[in-house]
Amino acid sequence: MRVSWLIVAALLPPALAAVPTPISAQAPPATCGSAALPGLEAARARLRPETPGAGTVVLTALRAASVDEFLQIAAVITGLAPTAPAIDELVRSPIATLPLPCSAAVVARDRVTYALLLGGYSAREIADIVSGRLSKRDIDDAQRLLMAGQREAVVAAFLDRALQARARRAERAHPQSARRSPPPRKAAPRAPAPRTPSVVPPAAIVTDAGIQAAILRLARQYGVDPGLVQAMVAAESGGAADAVSHKGAIGLMQLMPATARMLGVDPSDPIDNLRGGIAYLAGLLAQFGNTRDALIAYNAGPSHAERVRGGLAVLYGETRKYLDTIGRRYPL
């Protein structure tokens, strides 16, 4: 009997090794593919196709805008920066071909994103919900207030309070990691150049004569009011040609690298940056038909502009401040 127990004991470790680990206890694979990330796959499927040879500002702008929205969603799912090579490559390559990080948290964020996409939420709302800046209940309560006839300003204030409350809770929970994002980096001050009244409105801050002339020329080329461009430059970058936001947006018009690529410009070149941003704005103006909605689309994405226009959402947080800043320089 003693010998038989010794035999069993010798065979036991290999037998245990052959028993599969329960799925719930298995670590996720190192990288995720399309099947593991249906939310990311659904977001990518919404990218507008490239239209080589079409040559219209509107089509180019809408393609660039869809890339901007996709970057918001991809970054919040994967936890990577919007300018990370893997995120940037997602615009051009299928998900299955890229080594995207995979963890239980990534998969969970993707599942939430997929449900929100099916629910019709905008990319800005999805990014805020998945990142924890707002809850789905906050967004839904705001929509119910709108449906009940509450004024937009009241609903916007409700969401701003929710943003602030969640930011305070996050800071208390993680005092070291919840520091405020740094403002865009600004160029060293230059000596003011003479201002041309027809080019620079009194409230504008861009003083470089070459930039002023480029704004006037490019605004006329694309049929955009140069005063609006001046106000946008002030709001986007403070007039600093080398401004870089914490999200990686670059230059006077704060273009993301992938968006600039869609527009065919070099975002680090001030004149090219203006050309891309003004063409982008011109396309959105043609699509939405009014300045306010086009600016919302420029800052928060077309899907959010559509929801605001349809009475399903309001301006809040960064986008609300953005329009207020422009509105102080240019009548909306």
Active site residues: 236
Residue 294: closest CA among 232, 215, 220, 221:
232
pLDDT at 226: 96
Rg (CA), the chain: 24
Q: Is 266 in contact with 84 (CB distance < 8 Å)?
A: no
Q: Is the pLDDT of residue 199 over 50?
A: no
Cβ within 8 Å of residue 33, ≥6 positions away = 95, 96, 100
* 177 pLDDT higher than 70: no
- Mind listing the pLDDT tens digit for each residue in 22-69? 333 344 556 777 778 999 999 999 998 876 655 688 888 989 999 999
132: left (phi over 0), alpha (psi -120 to 50) or beta: left
pTM, whole model, 2 decimals?
A: 0.80
All structural domains of the chain with their residue ranges: 37-47+56-173, 209-327
Report the CATH number of the 209-327 domain.
1.10.530.10
